[in-house]
């Protein structure tokens, strides 16, 4: 009985330990990838114009690979959101990034699903945008953030869903 | 086998050490730090990079406008889809070098613009520092009749 218990515990631990393993999203050119790389402010890396702390979350971040390749990280685990909020705490530090390397010839890029400091530490799920949004919006669930976001609402109210006030689709 | 590979590597390193240290260092720097930018003018549509590149939905014109606003607000990079078919990720717009949920970019989603900028091409990505939006024709790519509202409809 006790042995079964321990066994079940180990399986549960295993599930938790593997919970950060990247999942496929069915996107062309995607490949599950776990890479160690340095988080960089891409504009800084390209132009040498480098504000403090990688732009404090207001600049797009990328992964600088050991072979010198720069890969933009353009997506996190939240729907319709990027990964800057997940990566900013790792500015100019090495991380282990787990997610999808999307080697699309139009633009190679990385979709971040989990990350942890390269020196060790816990994996964190790349859903910081949602957490931050929720905090900024009175604790509201961020699962459908785009439906209730006040800035979205303001823009769509002004310009319409198609971006042109009053424009309608034929089928409407 | 390993030893042979090692010694070949050693010979290569030594040879370069004697003949091409400067050249090699120069080439490496060019790889790691992008070469000097190219002054360019790009005409095209402001798009959401993720939806367009991955083709997870139809991501051009009015049909995708709302989603493009969502994604830009969500902090996904905004790009110009050039008439040349290339995707140019915008990292600066007219002296403002913020590129995450930048209101200047969100409010011109889906518009057809002509921009003057500095282009950095690195590892297969076109990074564009926009110095000036030379022209903005507004939204001209009407795709809503064919595609409705992407991605969820109403
Ligand atoms: Cu979209």
Number of domains in chain B: 2
Residue B11 confidence (pLDDT) above 90: no
B91 and B130 assigned to the same domain: yes
B52 and B126 assigned to the same domain: yes
User: Tell me, what's the pLDDT at A21?
Assistant: 79
Domain ranges of chain A: 12-125, 127-165
Give domain status of residue B154, yes or no: no
Instruction: Choose among A47, A83, A167: nearest Cβ to B144.
Output: A167
Give phi and psi for A118, each to the nearest 5. Answer: -65, -30
Average pLDDT rounded to a whole number, residues A51-61: 97
B23 and B88 assigned to the same domain: no
Residue A38 confidence (pLDDT) above 60: yes
Rounded distance, CA A143 to CA A130, Å?
7
Q: How far is B18 from chain A (nearest CA, A)?
A: 24
B23 and B42 assigned to the same domain: no
Q: Range of B10's domain?
A: 1-31
Q: What is the pLDDT of residues B32-81, one digit of tens each?
A: 455 689 999 999 999 999 999 999 999 999 999 999 999 999 999 999 99
Q: Are strands B87-93 and A94-102 parallel, antiparallel or unpaired?
A: unpaired
* Interchain contact B131–A (C-beta under 8 A): no
pTM, two decimal places: 0.84
Give phi and psi for A116, each to the nearest 5. Answer: -155, 155
User: Tell me, what's the pLDDT at B35?
Assistant: 64
Contact yes or no for B63/B109 (Cβ under 8 A): no
Residue A172 pLDDT grade (very low, low, confident, very high; cuts 50, 70, 90): low
Residue A19 pLDDT grade (very low, low, confident, very high; cuts 50, 70, 90): low
Give domain status of residue B153, yes or no: no
B25 and B62 assigned to the same domain: no
Q: Which of residues 44-73 of B touch A (CB under 8 A)?
A: 49-50, 53-56, 62-63, 65-67, 69-71, 73
B22 and B81 assigned to the same domain: no
Residue of B131, B125, B63 whose CA lies nearest to A104: B125
Q: A25, A42, A77, A80: which to substitute to probe chain B, counting the most B Cβ within 10 Å?
A: A80
Instruction: Choose among A58, A155, A163: nearest Cβ to B100.
Output: A58
Give domain status of residue B136, yes or no: yes
Residue of B55, B49, B25, B47 whose CA lies nearest to B141: B47
B8 and B79 assigned to the same domain: no
Query: How many C-beta atoms lie closer than 10 Å to residue A97's C-beta?
Result: 29
Residue B86 confidence (pLDDT) above 90: yes
Cβ pairs bridging A and B (under 8 Å): 157
Burial A104-125 (b: 16+ CB within 10 A, else e): bebbbbbbbbbbbeeeeeebeb
ipTM over 0.95: no
Average pLDDT rounded to a whole number, residues A35-40: 98
Quick check: B32 and A68 CB within 8 A?
yes
Rounded distance, CA A20 to CA A97, Å?
10
Q: How far is B84 from chain A (nearest CA, A)?
A: 12
B122 and B82 assigned to the same domain: yes
Q: What is the pLDDT of residues A128-148, one digit of tens each?
A: 999 999 999 999 999 999 999
Give domain status of residue B152, yes or no: no
Q: B99, B141, B150: which to substitute to probe chain A, counting the most A Cβ within 10 Å?
A: B99
Give the nearest chain B residue to A80 (CA atoms).
B71
């Amino acid at each position: 009985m006790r042995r079964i218990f321990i066994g079940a515990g180990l399986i549960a631990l295993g599930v938790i330990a593997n919970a950060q393993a990247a999942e496929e999203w069915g996107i062309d050119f995607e490949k599950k990838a776990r890479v160690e790389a340095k988080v960089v402010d891409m504009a800084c890396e390209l132009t040498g114009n480098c504000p403090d702390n990688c732009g404090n979350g207001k600049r797009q971040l990328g992964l600088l690979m050991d072979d010198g390749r720069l890969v933009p990280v353009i997506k996190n685990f939240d729907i319709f959101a990027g990964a800057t909020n997940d990566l900013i705490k790792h500015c100019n530090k090495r991380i282990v990034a787990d997610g999808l390397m999307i080697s699309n010839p139009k633009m190679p890029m990385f979709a971040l699903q989990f990350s942890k400091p390269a020196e060790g530490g816990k994996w964190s799920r790349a859903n910081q945008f949602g957490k931050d949004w929720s905090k900024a919006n009175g604790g509201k669930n961020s699962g459908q953030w785009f439906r209730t976001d006040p800035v979205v609402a303001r823009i769509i109210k002004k310009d319409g869903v198609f971006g042109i006030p009053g424009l309608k689709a034929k089928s409407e | 086998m390993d030893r042979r590979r090692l010694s070949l590597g050693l010979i290569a390193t030594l040879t370069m050490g004697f003949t091409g240290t400067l050249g090699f260092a120069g080439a490496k720097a060019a790889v790691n730090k992008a070469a000097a930018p190219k002054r360019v003018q790009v005409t095209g549509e402001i798009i959401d990079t993720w939806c367009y590149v991955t083709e997870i939905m139809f991501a051009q014109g009015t049909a995708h406008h709302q989603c493009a606003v969502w994604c830009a607000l969500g902090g996904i990079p905004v790009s110009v889809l050039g008439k040349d078919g290339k995707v140019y990720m915008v990292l600066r717009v007219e002296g403002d070098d913020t590129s995450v949920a930048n209101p200047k970019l969100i409010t011109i989603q889906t518009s057809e613009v002509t921009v003057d900028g500095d282009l950095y091409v690195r590892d297969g990505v076109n990074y564009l520092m926009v110095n000036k939006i030379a022209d903005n024709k507004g939204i001209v790519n009407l795709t809503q009749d064919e595609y409705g509202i992407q991605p969820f409809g109403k």
